[in-house]
Amino acid sequence: MPISAYKDASSKKRYLEFIENFNNPIMIEVNGVPFMFELRNTITVFEGVGSVFHDVNVTKNINTCVVDVGGLNATLCQFDGLTPNFNSMVVSNNGCNILKGKIGRMINEKFNIAVESNDLERIIHDGYLMYEGAIVTDSHHLIEQIKDSHFQEIISFAKSRGYTFNNTNITFCGGGALLLHNCIKEHFPHAKIVVNPQFANVKSFLQILKIKNNV
């Protein structure tokens, strides 16, 4: 659940009702096969938990700052052991879709080359533009420059909301942590980037579900 909805009781209630389809059956079709099911007693968990609840033995006795860089936004939350500080929950609009847009525009304006969304994922990950089999000169420097600037915007936003990143274990997760790996290591060399960061939240959600159901 988005942090903005989780922090507000009425928004949280409306979101939960929406997910459960207002107590009506949910109908979907997968590969031409129809399915119908109901959701009841849904457990709500906020985005940006990272691996806190997946690696309980590691995180239960330490302070952790989770920076979750997703496609739509970047969320931050401070944890005292396994307890989230709700006042620390903040959301920046600087998700990786914004980063893709910045780099796509730069490539089009600088090199007069149109790129698709799927191309941009690889371009950002590789750190350079390859056109018709050849690496485009200057593309690496310009792409890394934009990536670094985007990462700095996320950190500046966090600091403007009271984050100092002092005396805490900093953990980066979300698919954006893969794309911004070099920037993270440059500015936060001692921070942890979760293994398979795009699945960090899901793994914590699964652990919470197991505990709730005594599995």
Beta bridge partners of residue 135, listed in sequence order: 130
List the single range of 46-50, 62-66, 109-113 with lowest mean pLDDT: 46-50
Domain ranges of the chain: 1-44, 47-204
pLDDT at 151: 97
Residue 62 has pLDDT above 90, yes or no: yes
Q: Is 166 left (phi over 0), alpha (psi -120 to 50) or beta?
A: beta
Q: What is the mean pLDDT of residues 140-144?
A: 95
- What is the pLDDT confidence band of residue 47, given thresholds at 50, 70 and 90? confident
Q: Which CATH number fits domain 47-204: 1.20.1630.10, 3.20.20.80, 1.10.3720.10, 3.30.420.40?
A: 3.30.420.40
> pLDDT tens across 97-136, in order?
999 999 999 999 999 999 998 899 899 989 999 998 999 9
Q: What is the dihedral of CA 72, 73, 79, 83, to 10 degrees?
A: -50
> pLDDT tens across 71-106, in order?
999 999 999 999 999 899 999 999 999 999 999 999
pLDDT at 188: 97
Burial group, residue 23, by CB count within 10 angstroms (0-12, 13-18, 19+): exposed
- What is the pLDDT confidence band of residue 4, given thresholds at 50, 70 and 90? confident
Residue 212 has pLDDT above 90, yes or no: no
How far apart CA 165 and CA 130 sit, in angstroms, is 37
Residues 6+ apart with CB under 8 A from 73: 91, 92, 93, 94, 95
Residue 214 has pLDDT above 90, yes or no: no
Percent of the chain whose pLDDT exceeds 70: 100
Give me Rg for the CA atoms of the chain: 20
Percent of the chain whose pLDDT exceeds 90: 79
Q: Are 170 and 177 in contact (CB under 8 A)?
A: no
